[in-house]
């Protein structure tokens, strides 16, 4: 395993322990609002702190971008760690056991290493640039389904940006007519990991942040899939609007998404 991936895995497992321990005493968890329908808990912050400490022990010079801490610039800005300490906070707060720790490493702006860890199921999704993607050490691949008929797509609702509800619902309705079913499970990092593992055939969501998608994107790519924005371009990290699938099915998904983009989305 790549030495940086090794540390990322250690950090994700440490954060996972913080999260599962707190789940046993959910009533003690402090919840604060940081925006419309956007919550942060004492556990998000403690998990992020644990991850940062683990990274800092081995790589004090690297830059860290954490959802809760912002940018912690190191002397070596060529290597950036992008962290979501708890992806699926709404599930966690409600006691729904579906969330993950997401850690990606970029080297000179390119995704290089990725970890998405589900501490409840002890599922560790990892990827290294050019070396494929794994689930608990076993190689995973995206599905090869070419048409929407019979597919299961994952998605997320734009609950933090409800101005996009109508456009989103139009895309959903159009796709729902053609697919077998849809899942809104509540963790974008796991949605992408599930695309990589072939558990779902594709994923689309609008308004995501870099820490929601960075690790999942490398998992999908290394599992043989493709990640684009809603126009089929490469602006998804900036826009937060994302589609992931195998390249053939992704084109089919875009056909139902594009007509509803309007001016605010791309
Ligand atoms: C959220 C989850 C959710 C997605 C949201 C994300 P958080 O992350 O990934 O599935 O729909 O847009 O912000 O806030 O729980 O880290
Ligand atoms: Ca997130
Ligand atoms: Ca989070």
Model pLDDT for residues 210-233, shown as the tens digit of each residue:
999 999 999 999 999 999 999 999
Q: What's the token pair of residue 76? A: 């070596």
Does residue 215 sit within a domain?
Answer: yes
Give the domain CATH number at 250. Answer: 3.40.190.80
Residues 133 and 162 in one domain: no
What's residue 14's pLDDT? 98
Does residue 145 sit within a domain?
Answer: no
Distance CA 191, CA 194 (A): 5
Residues 127 and 13 in one domain: yes
Cβ of residue 212 lying under 6 Å from some atom of ligand 1: yes
pLDDT higher than threshold 80 for residue 245: yes
The string of pLDDT tens digits covering residues 65-105 is: 999 999 999 898 899 999 999 999 999 999 999 999 999 99
| Of 262, 251, 234, nearest in space to 111 by CA | 234
Which atom, in ligand 1's list, is nearest to the CA of 44?
A: 16
Task: Write the DSSP string, 184-206.
Answer: --S-HHHHHHHHHTTSSSEEEES
Cβ of residue 187 lying under 6 Å from some atom of ligand 1: yes
Report if pTM > 0.95. yes
Residues 178 and 130 in one domain: no
Does residue 213 sit within a domain?
Answer: yes
Distance 67 CA to ligand 3 centre (A): 6
State the sign of the Cα–Cα–Cα–Cα dihedral 175, 176, 178, 181.
positive
Residues 15 and 135 in one domain: yes
Give the domain CATH number at 66. Answer: 3.30.540.10
Proximal ligand: closest to the CA of 68: 3
Proximal ligand: closest to the CA of 194: 1
Q: How confident is the model at residue 32 (pLDDT cuts 50, 70, 90)?
A: confident
Residues 124 and 251 in one domain: no
Residues 117 and 61 in one domain: yes
What's residue 264's pLDDT? 63
pLDDT higher than threshold 80 for residue 265: no
The string of pLDDT tens digits covering residues 91-142 is: 999 999 999 999 999 999 999 999 999 999 999 999 999 999 999 999 999 9
Does residue 106 sit within a domain?
Answer: yes
Does residue 144 sit within a domain?
Answer: no
Average pLDDT estimate for 239-248: 96
- Residue ending a domain, among 75, 104, 139, is 139
Does residue 266 sit within a domain?
Answer: no
pLDDT higher than threshold 70 for residue 263: no
Contact 265, 230 (CB under 8 A): yes
Which atom, in ligand 1's list, is nearest to the CA of 89?
A: 15
What is the domain range of residue 134?
Answer: 3-139
| Of 183, 252, 243, nearest in space to 213 by CA | 243
Cβ of residue 84 lying under 6 Å from some atom of ligand 1: yes
Distance CA 228, CA 242 (A): 6
What's residue 34's pLDDT? 82
- Residue ending a domain, among 117, 139, 161, is 139
Distance 3 CA to ligand 3 centre (A): 25
If you take atom 11 of ligand 1, which residue's CA is the nearest one? 156
Average pLDDT estimate for 39-63: 95
Proximal ligand: closest to the CA of 43: 3
What's residue 211's pLDDT? 98
Which atom, in ligand 1's list, is nearest to the CA of 91?
A: 15
High-pLDDT (> 70) share of the chain, %: 98
Residues 54 and 122 in one domain: yes
If you take atom 12 of ligand 1, which residue's CA is the nearest one? 208
Cβ of residue 100 lying under 6 Å from some atom of ligand 1: no
Residues 20 and 110 in one domain: yes
Which atom, in ligand 1's list, is nearest to the CA of 209?
A: 13
The string of pLDDT tens digits covering residues 152-167 is: 999 999 988 888 899 9
The string of pLDDT tens digits covering residues 157-206 is: 998 888 889 999 999 999 999 999 999 999 999 999 999 999 999 999 99
Which atom, in ligand 1's list, is nearest to the CA of 186?
A: 10
Domains contained in the chain, number: 2
- Residue ending a domain, among 97, 113, 139, is 139
Does residue 204 sit within a domain?
Answer: yes
């Amino acid at each position: 395993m790549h030495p940086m991936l090794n540390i990322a895995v250690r950090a994700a497992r440490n954060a996972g322990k913080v999260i599962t321990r707190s789940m046993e005493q959910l009533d003690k968890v402090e919840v604060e609002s940081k925006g419309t329908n956007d919550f942060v808990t004492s556990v998000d912050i403690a998990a992020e702190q644990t991850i940062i400490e683990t990274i800092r022990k081995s790589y004090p010079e690297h830059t860290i971008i954490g959802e809760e801490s912002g940018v912690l610039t190191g002397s070596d800005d060529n290597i950036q760690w992008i962290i979501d300490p708890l992806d699926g906070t709404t599930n966690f707060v409600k006691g729904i056991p579906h969330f993950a720790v997401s850690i990606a490493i970029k080297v000179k702006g390119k995704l290089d290493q990725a970890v998405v860890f589900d501490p409840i199921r002890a599922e560790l999704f990892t990827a290294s640039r050019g070396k494929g993607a794994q689930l608990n050490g076993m190689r995973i691949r995206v599905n090869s389904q070419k048409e929407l008929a019979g597919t299961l797509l994952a998605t997320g609702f734009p609950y933090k940006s409800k101005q996009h509800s109508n456009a989103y619902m139009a895309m959903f309705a159009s796709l729902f007519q053609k697919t077998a079913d849809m899942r809104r499970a509540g963790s974008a990092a796991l949605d992408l990991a599930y695309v990589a593992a072939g558990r779902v055939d594709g994923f689309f969501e609008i308004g995501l942040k870099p820490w929601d998608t960075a690790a999942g994107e490398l998992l999908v790519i290394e599992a043989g899939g493709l990640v684009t924005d809603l126009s089929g371009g490469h602006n998804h990290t900036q826009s937060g609007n994302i589609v992931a699938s195998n390249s053939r099915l992704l084109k089919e998904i875009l056909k139902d998404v594009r007509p509803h983009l309007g001016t605010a989305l791309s």
